[in-house]
Structure 1
Amino acid sequence: MVSQALLLLLGTATTLASELSFPPPTTLASNGYANWGAGTWPPASVGVPLVPQTADSEILSLISQIDPARMEHTIRTLVNFGTRHTASTTTSLTRGIGAARKWLLKEMQEYAKPANGMIKVSMPCYFQPAEPENGLPIGVDICNVQAEIKGTVDPNRTIVYTGHYDSRRINGSDYENDAPGADDNASAVSIALEMVRILGLSVAKNQPAASIIISAVAGEEQGLYGSTFLANTLKNASVNVEADFNNDIVGTGSNAPFNKLNQHTIRIFSGGTDILDLPEATIDEIITTGYQDDTPSRNLARFIQEVNAGAAHTTEMEVAILYKTDRFDRGGDHEPFLEVGFPAVRFTESNENFFHQHQDPREENGVVFGDNIEFVDFDYTARVGKVNMLGMLSMANAPDLPKNFTYVPLYGFLASDEQAPVASLDNVVMFNWNTEPKDPLLDHFEIVWRSMSSQQWTHTLDVGTVSTATLDISRDNAVFGLRAVGKDGKKSPAVLALPDSF
């Protein structure tokens, strides 16, 4: 039992700390442990604390229409095709990847009908020669099934959703035997179809400002073929792809350890400077300044996490950002987008179960192996779908990303000679950016910043519609970004400042 004297001493110490304006007591994270990584420094003297942006009632209404029962129907139908191996049969009406893609095309076309032609459904294909070393023993047609919605304000600015519909066994070359692929990756395809269905009913009245492509891609398990085809097609057409939301293995949060938090958490993998399609000197500068955690993909992940936080009462999910392109020694359909310079992230369930991935369906000594439908939680997948749809619609209806956001290296720095202006010696940071051509959705810009130890933006400063700003904070102590704010309050992802010499 704690003595009265000790309680009195503790109370006195707390009072003294308050009177002397010491830092506030250590805060606790949701798990009850000390939130020691957040810190309270540098002092929050610039801007105001950032409050997560909230979605409007229209977007919340749309994401609330995601139906777990319909998603179960999609997953069950795809599993019932037996195998969807990239080289499986294309002549059967009931088995193989050919039957699967015909069914997906028919479903998307049906869901797009209420849009009165505003959703274009297609199945672009190309011939992929055999690559036995990758598990493709014969040459095949790689066909993506996708829906495209043209934006009303800037149709070239495009947000992409990808999820592969092929499946595999332990032997990646086995294209004849069953490979259910319920979680990997019929789960993500069910999200794609639900988004097309819901937007098909709404887009005729409320078309997004930017374009949206929702694609079920093929050939992921053998070589990311379909996503590479899509990313290269968009790159060659000079499409301004500002995000690829790639989903792969998003079927359950119920894997061991059985924790309720797993059932309401989705991981987002986001790459660093290793995947940037930028000149080497620019990447070196980003690394030198310690801004390697602020690549476009990681700022995309921050954006998704923030808008989800503002609508968590509807999504019933939290987003965990991982600072890596993918899991250990793994890959996915977001990588071809990264390779051509497009921001891209990967959504994957909170804790994977390898008994049910790339396994031959069987039971051994009471242990069930195989990616079977009984191991998919349709409510969980529906919640993941809400996070995706929320992020995509929020981004598509926000202003375009700010352009040419830079800082002045010699402002707030050492003097090069005695003639250096006195003002340039203040330990501050000066930013410049483009304001023309003006985005019709734009209301103002805001600078966001956070301490070097924080993963998410913590403060924001409204800088109006000017093209320059000076902040009274050392750039050594914080990370800065700029984002555009629309007339309706929707905000773009933040962009990182590069030195104005780049």
Structure 2
Amino acid sequence: MISVPVISAESDVEQQLHDIAARVSAERIEQDIRTLVSFGTRHTLSETQSDTRGIGAARRWIKDEFERISADCGGCLEVYFQSDVIEGETRIPEATEVVSVIAVQKGHTDPDRYVVMSGDIDSRVSDVMNATADAPGANDNASGVAGTLEAARVLSQYQFHGSVVYAALAGEEQGLFGGKIMARKAKEDGWRVKAVLNNDMIGNIAGINGVVNNTTARLFSEGTRKTETPEEARMRRFTGGEVDSPSRNLARFIDRIADRYIPNLDTMMVYRLDRFGRGGHHRPFNDEGFPAIRIMETNEHYDRQHQDLRTENGTEYGDTLDGVNFEYAAKLTGLNAVSLASMAWAPAPPASVKIDGAVTPDTTLSWATANGNEKELVKGYRIYWRYTDQPQWQFSRYVGNVTEFTLENVVIDNYFFGVASVAENGLESPVVFPGAAGSFGD
């Protein structure tokens, strides 16, 4: 293992993050996708006893792969199955054990703070209840699982302040059950989850709209958080925050990571929980109040999603290997890996951020002192602000290691504001919008 628990200089961390992006291998991702496709189907209700076909064989292989990765880093990953029995649901009518594979790389300074990368194990064809037909699921979503495995290979060679979790989640097509199980368990166990990066279809570059593009990706993030109380909604009406949930500021953070560290990739922040009327495995984490977004390709090809393998009128249908661009999947995996490393090396986002300045020429922001071991990570704080119609933060000021600062002659009415924690090595947390609307939690 490369032992780098503390990076002392900004130039050092810049190089490390560029190295992380460069170490992601399209060849290893291709090999993993081919292996997952070889199981024939990974439908949640499919075969579990076979060693070569079905969801059981797939999840055992994923667990074995995580354990091999852990062996290469001296046992740095805690690898386990996470499951619950689901029954009486529209898409899981009979009692079925939904089993995900989790690998946890514990942080060395603040191990109870977590950032998560996930992909979905399961696949399907046209009939969501057909558990026997071949369902390769090459892009949807072997690409996301392969990316998660590859991120674990790369990042497990480093040590971080916070914990990094790699999750291969089950039951997505049948109702987001793997995510529901994991999110509920994380909340019960008191995990301080600061980010969930759900990767669902990261390998297709040729859209059904005729566009072929390997230089963009989409970041879907919810606006107003689902856990908002009526009183919090009343306050938001007067103070703002509709476009500054923690999930949305997580998306802004990753958008800036792409610009800085991932060559030839521009991310599109989509102000929506997911695609129009559709869902993904980040949603259960949002439902529990955790910051979570979906990372995916820009141009989808619907003939390759949820389709029986067939050819009709010269059109080929099905989610097969020839629809995956492995270099593109590697590019999006690199974005995930650098984003996870940046957050795990940086301090936690500031807590209890407040703002004041009505009917004055100045704006004052305040926040809580870092807790416990986080204190040694924090060099200071940076205040950000932007015009209210702008998607990305425009202006900033480093204010030192204080818990309150006044921006003189910056009128509160004209901007949105936020605060980020800054480490000695220059890395920053995502920006936190003041009040309950923007809180990343304590």
TM-score range relative to shorter protein: over 0.9
The equivalent residue for 1:110 is: 68
The equivalent residue for 1:431 is: 365
Whole-Å Cα distance in 2 between the matches of residues 434 and 221 of structure 1?
41
Displacement of 1:73 in angstroms is 1.1
Instruction: Could you tell me which runs of 5 or more consecutive residues in structure 1 were left unpaired when the two chains were aligned.
Output: 1-52, 414-425
Whole-Å Cα distance in 2 between the matches of residues 104 and 375 of structure 1?
22
The equivalent residue for 1:401 is: 349
Whole-Å Cα distance in 1 between the matches of residues 238 and 132 of structure 2?
52
The equivalent residue for 1:19 is: none
Report which stretch shifted further, 120-129 or 158-167: 120-129
Instruction: Could you tell me which runs of 5 or more consecutive residues in structure 2 were left unpaired when the two chains were aligned.
Output: 1-10
Displacement of 1:286 in angstroms is 2.0
- Kept in 1, the 8 Å contact 2:155–2:341? The answer is no
The one of 236, 239, 246 equivalent to 1:289 is 239
- Kept in 1, the 8 Å contact 2:205–2:325? The answer is yes
Q: Does 1:373 align with 2:324?
A: no
Displacement of 1:436 in angstroms is 4.5
Partner SS for 2:174: helix
The C-alpha deviation readout for 1:91-128, integer Å capped at 9, x for no partner, is 11111101111111111111210211221111122222
Displacement of 1:256 in angstroms is 4.5
The equivalent residue for 2:377 is: 441
Amino acid paired to 2:382 = E
Whole-Å Cα distance in 2 between the matches of residues 296 and 442 of structure 1?
20
Q: In structure 2, do the counterparts of structure 1 residues 173 and 497 end up closer, same or farther at CA, with 3 Å as the change threshold?
A: same
The C-alpha deviation readout for 1:13-35, integer Å capped at 9, x for no partner, is xxxxxxxxxxxxxxxxxxxxxxx
The equivalent residue for 1:300 is: 250
The equivalent residue for 1:279 is: 229
Amino acid paired to 1:473 = V
Amino acid paired to 2:358 = G
Partner SS for 1:56: helix
Q: Does 1:311 align with 2:311?
A: no
Displacement of 1:251 in angstroms is 1.1
- Kept in 2, the 8 Å contact 1:55–1:311? The answer is no
- Kept in 2, the 8 Å contact 1:268–1:320? The answer is yes
The equivalent residue for 1:128 is: 86
Which structure's CA Rg is the greater one? 1
Displacement of 1:130 in angstroms is 4.3
The C-alpha deviation readout for 1:247-290, integer Å capped at 9, x for no partner, is 10111122244556x311110000011x3423221133223333
Amino acid paired to 2:253 = F
Identity %: 36
- Kept in 2, the 8 Å contact 1:276–1:295? The answer is no
Whole-Å Cα distance in 1 between the matches of residues 110 and 338 of structure 2?
19
The one of 68, 78, 98 equivalent to 2:26 is 68
The one of 98, 105, 112 equivalent to 2:56 is 98
Whole-Å Cα distance in 2 between the matches of residues 157 and 124 of structure 1?
19
The one of 189, 198, 222 equivalent to 2:145 is 189
Partner SS for 1:148: strand
The equivalent residue for 2:42 is: 84
The equivalent residue for 1:265 is: 216
Whole-Å Cα distance in 1 between the matches of residues 244 and 436 of structure 2?
14
Report which stretch shifted further, 122-131 or 223-232: 122-131
The one of 273, 276, 283 equivalent to 1:325 is 273
Amino acid paired to 1:152 = H
Whole-Å Cα distance in 2 between the matches of residues 312 and 61 of structure 1?
11
The equivalent residue for 1:31 is: none
Whole-Å Cα distance in 1 between the matches of residues 327 and 182 of structure 2?
30
The C-alpha deviation readout for 1:381-429, integer Å capped at 9, x for no partner, is 0000011111111011101111111012xx432xxxxxxxxxxxx3322
Whole-Å Cα distance in 1 between the matches of residues 370 and 154 of structure 2?
35
The equivalent residue for 2:184 is: 232
The C-alpha deviation readout for 1:436-478, integer Å capped at 9, x for no partner, is 5362111111100111111000111111112222222222211
Whole-Å Cα distance in 2 between the matches of residues 433 and 107 of structure 1?
42
Report which stretch shifted further, 242-251 or 280-289: 280-289
The equivalent residue for 1:177 is: 133
The equivalent residue for 1:255 is: 207
Whole-Å Cα distance in 2 between the matches of residues 331 and 365 of structure 1?
30
Displacement of 1:137 in angstroms is 4.0
The one of 338, 345, 358 equivalent to 1:412 is 358
- The alignment's TM-score, normalised by the length of structure 1, stands at 0.82
Report which stretch shifted further, 464-473 or 101-110: 464-473
Whole-Å Cα distance in 2 between the matches of residues 284 and 259 of structure 1?
43
The equivalent residue for 2:108 is: 152
The one of 229, 239, 242 equivalent to 2:194 is 242
Displacement of 1:322 in angstroms is 0.6
- Kept in 2, the 8 Å contact 1:161–1:246? The answer is yes
Report which stretch shifted further, 183-192 or 462-471: 462-471
- Kept in 2, the 8 Å contact 1:443–1:485? The answer is yes
Q: Does 1:482 align with 2:430?
A: no
Partner SS for 1:412: coil
Whole-Å Cα distance in 1 between the matches of residues 287 and 204 of structure 2?
29
Displacement of 1:499 in angstroms is 8.8
Report which stretch shifted further, 250-259 or 444-453: 250-259
Whole-Å Cα distance in 2 between the matches of residues 252 and 341 of structure 1?
30
The C-alpha deviation readout for 1:173-210, integer Å capped at 9, x for no partner, is 1111111111110000110111122234x13xxx1100
Whole-Å Cα distance in 1 between the matches of residues 421 and 114 of structure 2?
17
- Kept in 2, the 8 Å contact 1:162–1:227? The answer is no
Whole-Å Cα distance in 2 between the matches of residues 492 and 467 of structure 1?
16
Partner SS for 2:247: helix
Whole-Å Cα distance in 2 between the matches of residues 375 and 457 of structure 1?
36
The one of 288, 309, 312 equivalent to 1:364 is 312
The equivalent residue for 1:139 is: 95
Partner SS for 1:104: helix
The equivalent residue for 1:468 is: 404
Paired residues, number: 425
- The alignment's TM-score, normalised by the length of structure 2, stands at 0.92
Report which stretch shifted further, 170-179 or 468-477: 468-477
- Kept in 1, the 8 Å contact 2:252–2:269? The answer is yes
Whole-Å Cα distance in 2 between the matches of residues 254 and 478 of structure 1?
39
